[in-house]
Amino acid sequence: MPLDFVVLDVFTDQPLAGNPLAVVLGADDLDGGRMLAIAREFNLSETVFVLKPRNPAHSARIRIFTPAGEVPFAGHPTVGTAILLAQHRVGTSPEQEQDVIVVMEEEIGIVRCGVVLSPGGKAFAEFDVPKVATSAGPAGDKDMIAAALGLTRAELGFENHKPCRFDAGLAFTFVPVHDLEAMAKIRLERSIWHDAFPGDERALVLAYCRETLHHDTHFHARMFGPLVGIDEDPATGSAAAAFAGVVRKFDEPRDGTHRVRLEQGIEMGRPSIIDLEFDIEGAKLRSVRIGGGAVRVSEGVLTV
């Protein structure tokens, strides 16, 4: 049964940067096992399968797979798929800027995306995160975390930031690192990964620091998930969604709307930019939005 697919680079406006994403269209006849096998064949951090929506008022239902299994929610699959569905609706390069609303049924729930398509093929999507970041319990031992990243204890932390865990659909351990020099030194020690992040079957980790390479970004980040087949991820929207909880906890922003931009993927040669916007009311996190661009890089037909 032939199936069309498209590969996009997400959280970038340039091809061969950002986080690559495979989107398989018309996947209603595939079961979960077949989807996983196809995701392993693409061998990208995530592959999306587009199905008919359960509610005809919605744009599509999607299932998201890493090479290790299905996940209920992820950021760059949401952004990339929303942009692709919007382009299918109005074209890849409209004569004038077009605003398109895309509503997708994900395993975590309904995700609403606003897409802006511009002449020349530029595209940007922003979505409302379906689950506001909440604490996911304490982080592991600081010495073990440092060792798992190939760093020393002294290279972790800056200001009042300490390792912590937050969940906005996927749980992450967030590890503050002193500076860019220490970030560049990170080397995974897989043999102690389970010990450093106990009780967490996925053990997803976002290391971050305040020092950045770009003048218009606020944090530099690297994400690691060796237990789910992702040694390092170029751009991780689900981590950025949960990172709103980190910013609220340690930076204590005032009530109002706040915008934070993260740079990621630099060390991989896949520079990515993730826009994070969140609302604080009564010193609490009330809503979160993730935004980014995407560009098509290839398309074809699966013949399996």
CA-CA distance, 297 to 299, in Å (whole number)? Answer: 7
Beta partners for residue 21, in sequence order: 8
Instruction: Encode pLDDT of 208-260 as tens digits.
Output: 999 999 999 999 999 999 998 889 999 999 999 999 999 999 999 999 999 99
Backbone dihedral angles phi then psi of residue 137, each to the nearest 5 degrees: 95, 175
CA-CA distance, 119 to 91, in Å (whole number)? Answer: 10
Contact partners, residue 164, CB within 8 Å, separation at least 6: 135, 138, 139, 173, 174, 246, 249
Q: Cβ distance 302 to 21 under 8 Å?
A: no
Query: Hey, which residues are catalytic here?
Result: 46
- Which residues make up the CATH 3.10.310.10 domain(s) of the chain? 3-128+293-302, 134-290
For domain 3-128+293-302, give the CATH number: 3.10.310.10
* pLDDT given for residue 51 in this prediction: 98
CA-CA distance, 4 to 24, in Å (whole number)? Answer: 6
- What CATH architecture does domain 134-290 belong to? Roll (3.10)
Instruction: Encode pLDDT of 168-181 as tens digits.
Output: 999 999 999 999 99
Read off the pLDDT band of 1 (50, 70, 90).
confident
* pLDDT given for residue 25 in this prediction: 98
